[in-house]
């Protein structure tokens, strides 16, 4: 091949490379080891200076586009020195923008790729700000719930104990109506106290300790122990075997199972002894727990509502409860990074599912 032939091949190759680079979404620049620009595509030119006249960049020193104080400038200088350092900078301020800069050593100089990541950085910062704000508001709400419920408890205790005293000390001459009213005051105060207690508990979730690996069979055992009275009374059968080791907040996880199992006992069908199965399916990233009962069931249109605090099903009003249990469960499962939901058939039974990440 003679030399003019060689030159034209070289030119052709350069044109092909330039047309590929010209359409690349990433800025590409090559320089010699002194920083003089040998080749630049439109995207890079656009980022460095709103000037698409590519020729005007050739032979200019790349350093002149960067502020001397910037990290990019310092690093680039390092790359031109004898050390010929390669580097990656992810979110470097560049005028009003942010750029991502990668520098690699090639045969006769440097290959620099430059990307405008301003939008990504702005979005990321916005998400960060938003998350911080949400976290702060959440913490404030929890503190508010804690303080109000804590402070409400005291006057309420007074109402309960004084209505008790009054009931005890009222003689038989007192009209039965008055006695009945006193009893209503006492019962309502007790119910309010239960609700406040539930709120307090709810605001305490997740403040206790670290996650630890525990045997969920043991947790179920201890829950069943504490529910022994209800189990005997309702003649319930409870089945579970080979439940896994899980990474959990022990107190909260215990309370989760306690709520679900006690609901499965509580919402039983009249005359039908509860049969409750506790199971856990080994999935790729988590354990899917299920608690199945043969109780009164829940209509489909109520599947979501029951997880909201203080929401109870109208049909179940005669069964004692505060409507806090499942809100509690949801918060606990959230804390573990999982989800909770229900599947049910009225008059046949319900299955509550929740997953615990591995
Ligand atoms: P509580 O039991 O104190 O009312 P929960 O928050 O635990 O509060 O439950 C909310 C409502 O969901 C209950 O009032 C009941 O109507 C319904 N529910 C919960 N668990 C079951 C279940 N296993 N079977 C049928 N209904 C249930």
Residue 333 zone, left/alpha/beta (φ > 0; ψ -120 to 50; rest):
alpha
Dist. CA 134 → ligand 1 center (Å): 29
Percent helix / strand / coil, the chain, rounded to 5: 50, 20, 25
Ligand 1 centre from 307 Cα, in Å? Answer: 9
Question: What does the alpha-carbon distance between residue 206 and residue 203 come to, in Å, rounded to a whole number?
Answer: 9
Measure 325 CA to ligand 1 centroid, in angstroms.
7
Give the Cα separation of 324 and 312 in Å (integer): 9
Q: Which residues of the chain have pLDDT under 70?
A: 1-4, 51-52, 206-208, 314-316
Q: How far is the CA of 356 from the centre of ligand 1 (A)?
A: 22
Considering only CA atoms, which of 201, 206, 227, 194 is closest in space to residue 312?
A: 194
Closest ligand 1 atom, residue 321 Cα? 3
CB 51 within 8 A of CB 132: no
The token pair at 69 is 């104080």
Give pLDDT, residue 355.
97
Q: In what order do the strands lie in the sheet with 349-357?
A: 237-240, 275-282, 286-292, 349-357, 340-345
For 233, the token pair is: 């009374």
Res 251: pLDDT: 83
* pLDDT at res. 316: 67
The secondary element (H helix, E strand) that includes residue 351 is strand 349-357
Instruction: Indicate the top mutation candidate among 194, 304, 306 to test ligand 1's pocket, ranked by most ligand atoms within 8 A of CB.
Output: 306
Residue 202's pLDDT is 79
- Euclidean distance between CA atoms 60 and 82, whole angstroms: 20
CA of 342 to the centre of ligand 1 (A): 11
Question: What pLDDT, on the 0 to 100 scale, is given for residue 190?
Answer: 86
**CB neighbours of residue 118 within 10 Å:** 17
- Three-state DSSP at 23 gives coil
Pocket of ligand 1 (CB under 6 A): 259, 263-264, 267, 293, 295-298, 306, 312-313, 316, 321-327, 350
With contact defined as beta carbons under 8 Å apart, do 290 and 279 qualify? yes
The pLDDT of residue 253 is: 93
């Amino acid at each position: 091949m003679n030399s003019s032939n060689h030159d034209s091949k070289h030119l052709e190759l350069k044109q092909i490379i330039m047309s590929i680079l010209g359409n690349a979404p990433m800025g590409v620049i090559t320089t010699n080891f002194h920083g003089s620009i040998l080749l630049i595509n439109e995207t890079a030119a656009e980022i460095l200076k709103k000037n698409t006249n590519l020729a005007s960049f050739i032979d200019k020193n790349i350093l002149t586009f960067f502020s001397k104080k910037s990290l990019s400038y310092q690093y680039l200088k390092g790359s031109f020195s004898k050390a010929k350092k390669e580097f990656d900078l992810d979110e470097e301020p560049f005028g009003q923008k942010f750029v991502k800069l990668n520098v690699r050593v090639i045969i006769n100089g440097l290959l620099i790729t430059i990307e405008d990541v301003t939008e990504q950085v702005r979005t990321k910062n916005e998400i960060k700000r938003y998350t911080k704000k949400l976290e702060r508001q959440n913490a404030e709400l929890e503190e508010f719930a804690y303080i109000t419920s804590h402070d409400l408890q005291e006057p309420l205790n007074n109402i309960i104990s004084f209505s008790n005293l009054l009931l005890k000390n009222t003689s038989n001459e007192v009209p039965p109506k008055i006695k009945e009213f006193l009893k209503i005051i006492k019962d309502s105060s007790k119910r309010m106290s239960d609700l406040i207690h539930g709120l307090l508990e709810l605001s305490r979730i997740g403040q206790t300790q670290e996650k630890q690996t525990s045997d969920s069979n043991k947790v179920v055992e201890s829950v069943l122990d504490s529910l022994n009275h209800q189990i005997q009374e309702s003649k319930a059968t409870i089945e579970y075997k080979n439940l896994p080791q899980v990474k959990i907040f022990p107190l909260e996880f215990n309370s989760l199972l306690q709520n679900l199992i006690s609901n499965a006992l509580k919402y039983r069908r009249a005359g039908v002894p509860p049969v409750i199965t506790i199971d856990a399916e080994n999935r790729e990233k988590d354990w899917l727990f299920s608690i199945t009962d043969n109780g009164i069931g829940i209509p489909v249109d109520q599947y979501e509502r029951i997880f909201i605090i203080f929401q109870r099903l109208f049909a179940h009003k005669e069964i004692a409860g505060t409507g806090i249990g499942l809100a509690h469960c949801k918060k606990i499962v959230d804390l573990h990074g999982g989800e909770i939901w229900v599947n049910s058939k009225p008059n046949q039974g319900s299955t509550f599912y929740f997953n615990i990440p591995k």
